[in-house]
Amino acid sequence: MSFIVERSHVIFKHLIHVGPEVDVEAVADIATRRDYTKTTRTINTPRGPLKEYLFRPKTNPQSLIVFSRKGFVIDAQPADNVLALFRDAYDFYEKVLGDQALTATVVMELNSKFEVFSPTPVKELFTKLYSEQAFKFSWSGKELRPSGFTLAAGTGKFPEESVQFTIQPFPKDPERRLIAVVMYRSTELDDALKFIETIDADIIKILSKISKVK
């Protein structure tokens, strides 16, 4: 039996770091003609109020696209809905910005959480990663042990590509299930899309490799 992703939630940001602002009214006009429902909200930012348009696909109301003058954010459940929503959002973005879309410097950030069933007992997975003797600490008379594990590449500083992968026991079933958190950052659109396309499979591959550590 292998690891199984049971639930996932992905937030994927495509935000303009330097460049033109997005005409969100024009985006709303296109999106509402594409079978999306529309709501608005205003959030406070250090630079003042920011109006956001929230577009939900009628076929999947759990997910949404959020547009502002700074770009857009995909909020998708499960993860395999991200790319379809991205295609629509990017189409709106290109139609509204036209040739100016090519002049923008864009930063893409992904923050995702996966609930994963583990065929290997979770405690056994962590014992493979940490030496019992090396990680014995106490605090106010209480024994402290590792309850998570993180792998990372890159510094996360602009414009460097970076990824961080963290696993920890799932609080509702810490014996047989894990929470995997994946964070990613890039300025290259193709790299970001490839990363998202294989994210479920890559999580399973990494966990499988950890389970085989002796």
Query: Do 175 and 122 contact (CB within 8 A), yes or no?
Result: yes
Mean pLDDT (whole number) for 46-51: 90
Angle at 31 between CA 182 and CA 187, to 5 degrees: 35
58-to-40, 85, 184 alpha-carbon distances in Å = 16, 12, 28
More confident residue, 160 or 132: 160
Tell me: pLDDT of 146 over 80.
Answer: no
Instruction: Give the global pTM.
Output: 0.90
Predicted local distance difference test score (pLDDT) of residue 134 = 54
